[in-house]
Amino acid sequence: MDEQQRTARAGRAHSAAERLAGHDVVGVAVTWVDNSGITRVKTVPSAKLESAAAWGIGASPVFDAFLLDDSIMSGRYAGSPVGDLRLHPDLDRLTVLAAQPGWAWAPADRYTQDGAVHPQCARSLARSMTDRLRGAGLEASMAFEVEWTVGRAGTDEFVPACSGPAYGMTRLVELSAYSRDVLTALAAEGVAVDQFHPEYGAGQLEVSVAAEDPVAAADTTVLVRETVRAVGMTHGLRTSFSPKVTAEGVGNGGHVHVSLRRDGSSVMTGADGPFGLTQEGASFTAGVLARLPALLAIGCPTTASYLRLIPSHWAGAFACWGRENREAAVRLVTGAVGSGSWAANVEVKCFDGAANPYLVVAGLLAAGLAGMDESAELPPPVDVDPASLDDDSRAERSIAPLPTSLTEAADRFEADPALAEALGVELAATIVDLRRADVALMAGKSPDEIVALTRWKH
């Protein structure tokens, strides 16, 4: 960040602050997501936006070491109380918050006091991975599905806010005003909602949004979640994006859709690879599939995540891929006949609502790029629930169960050189240290206790 950039940012922030005043905004929430998947915030009054844009807002690097219970682990490259970072709000994403009158929001990039990008800034990393892909001639689009559960406020227990059946119209009737307010707020914020529906679990709902640039997609999922939470508050409801709100039943996924284009044409369709994939589309997908066990340290970052990631719960607990197979961790979505050129994409189903979306973007793109570098080949597709096969049949089809614990995922992540290179020594070490600290935090606890400690954190 040099002087010229600071001056340009200050100028833009000045006009932005005038625009915010027209919307009666008094403060701007500047957020980043920590490595435990929790959105943290600092705010400035609108009058200070100009200085925040130019000089950043002070924030300790110790946040890199936060666990989900706000305890601070002592990591190899995180956890020291010494030092300071600068949070620079991204003015391109400045949004008036529709469900929090008087507030606007912007996601932050984190810089050092020297004006360099902080080596553990997940948002900057997501951007640099997107740029790396662009350097290889490919434009990525991504979208996060947001699943959540609504419970009654006033208790730490989970009391579902509706009693209608899964996908039932009854639920929409019960939560009609709330659901309308969710859609109204997201529209006012410029979020391109594709669909909203009651999900399978008790009190569970879902919003899906249009695909966009990967960093924008991660920003959007933060905005959607905090908007949903804020709307819930006004209806006396409590919102959870936690992987599990009860030890039984299905959890909250954080499925991610990825598509790639070269020279404007999708590499996910129209070619002679399996189901029309191009060679590079297949290699990208194979790179992701091969690294899923390691990527779980990013996408399923809590001990509770592994209570969700179980067979026959639509969470994709097996490392395999298939066309429209909702029990495969990687689902190829080809779209309806005739729509493939814009609709074809790869959906990673195993990740959950506790994941930092910026790390998910960075990790997936790094894994896909590694697959392309290696000209990786996809194993045969799977068209059944892998849980319905015996061990021998699964082995014949190269279907492996994904890690069943955070310890296993952290070990696999630590052993993956491509991910370590992409994330950098410091961030990769911090992720491993944090996951092991989470395991220690939850050691000896029952599933009910783990769920209770995790339920209202994300």
Interface residues with ligand GLU (CB under 6 A) are 147, 199-200, 250-251, 253, 308, 314-315, 326, 349
Our CB check for Mg ion shows the closer of 208 and 246 to be: 208
Write the secondary structure of 300-332 as one string of H (helix), E (strand) and C (coil): CCCCCHHHHCCCCCCCCCEEEEEECCCCEEEEE
Size of the site for Mg ion (CB under 5 A): 1
User: How far is 96 from 101, CA to CA, in rounded Å?
Assistant: 8
Residue with smaller CB distance to ligand GLU, 59 or 350:
350
Closest chain position to ligand GLU (CB): 253
Per CB under 5 A, 34 contacts Mg ion: no
Residue 315 binds which entry of ligand GLU, Mg ion, none, with Cβ cut-offs from 5 to 8 Å by kind?
ligand GLU
Q: Which is nearer to Mg ion, 90 or 327 (CB)?
A: 327
H or E, element range at 417: helix 417-423
Choose between 200 and 456: whose C-beta lies nearer to ligand GLU.
200
The Cβ-side half-sphere exposure at 178, using a 13 Å CA radius, reads 26
User: What, of Mg ion, ligand GLU, none, does residue 250 touch, CB below 5 to 8 Å by kind?
Assistant: ligand GLU
Q: How far is the CB of 60 from Mg ion (least distance, A)?
A: 36
| Shortest Cβ 354–ligand GLU spacing (Å) | 12
Burial track 189-224 (b if 16+ CB lie within 10 A, e otherwise) = bebeeeebebbebbbbbbbbbebbbbbbbbbbbbbb
DSSP letters of 129-170? Answer: HHHHHHHTTEEEEEEE-EEEEEEESS-SS--BS--PPTT-HH
Nearest residue to Mg ion on Cβ basis: 206
CA distance 262 to 276: 15
Choose the contact partner of 55 out of Mg ion, ligand GLU, none; CB within 5 to 8 A by kind. none
Nearer of residues 206 and 416 to Mg ion, judged by Cβ: 206
* Residue/partner pairs of 441-449 with CB below 8 Å, 24 or more apart: 441/67, 441/69, 441/71, 441/303, 442/303, 442/304, 447/247, 447/307, 448/247
Question: What are phi and psi for residue 88, nearest 5 degrees?
Answer: -105, 110
CB of 250 to Mg ion, least distance (A): 9
Query: Considering only 4-12, 86-94, 200-208, 275-283, which stretch makes contact with Mg ion by CB under 5 A?
Result: 200-208
Distance in Å, CB of 171 to ligand GLU, minimum: 15
| Complex with Mg ion: residue 66 or 144, whichever CB lies closer | 144
308, interface contact from ligand GLU, Mg ion, none, CB < 5-8 Å by kind: ligand GLU
Q: What, of Mg ion, ligand GLU, none, does residue 251 touch, CB below 5 to 8 Å by kind? A: ligand GLU
- Decide whether 197 or 445 has the Cβ nearer to ligand GLU: 197
Please report the DSSP string for 321-380 in residue order.
Answer: EEET-TTEEEEEE--STT-HHHH-EEEE-S-BTTS-HHHHHHHHHHHHHHHHHTT--PPP
Dist CA 436 CA 388 (whole Å): 32
Q: How many Å separate Cα 34 from the centre of its chain?
A: 11
- Contact region with Mg ion (CB under 5 A), list: 19-27, 205-213, 299-307, 393-401: 205-213
Q: Which stretch binds Mg ion (CB under 5 A): 8-16, 99-107, 199-207, 415-423?
A: 199-207
Q: Is 206 in the site for Mg ion (CB under 5 A)?
A: yes
Cβ neighbours of residue 366 closer than 8 Å, sequence gap 6 or more? 129, 418, 419, 421, 422, 423
| Residue pair 28/43 in contact by the 8 Å Cβ criterion | yes
Residue 134 binding partner per list Mg ion, ligand GLU, none, with a CB distance cut-off of 5 to 8 Å that depends on partner kind: none
Supply the minimum distance, in Å, between the C-beta of residue 224 and Mg ion: 14
Nearest distance from C-beta of residue 11 to ligand GLU, angstroms: 44
Considering beta carbons, is residue 55 or 314 the nearer one to ligand GLU? 314
Nearer to Mg ion, 206 or 433 (CB): 206
Residue 224 Cβ vs ligand GLU, minimum distance, rounded to whole Å: 16
By a kind-dependent CB cut-off of 5 to 8 A, residue 57 interacts, out of ligand GLU, Mg ion, none, with none
Minimum Å gap between C-beta 329 and ligand GLU is 10
Neighbours of 424 (CB within 10 A): 15
Closer to ligand GLU at the Cβ: 251 or 287?
A: 251
Burial 340-362 (b: 16+ CB within 10 A, else e): beebbbbbbbbbbbbbbbbbbbb
Contacts with Mg ion, residue ranges (CB under 5 A): 206
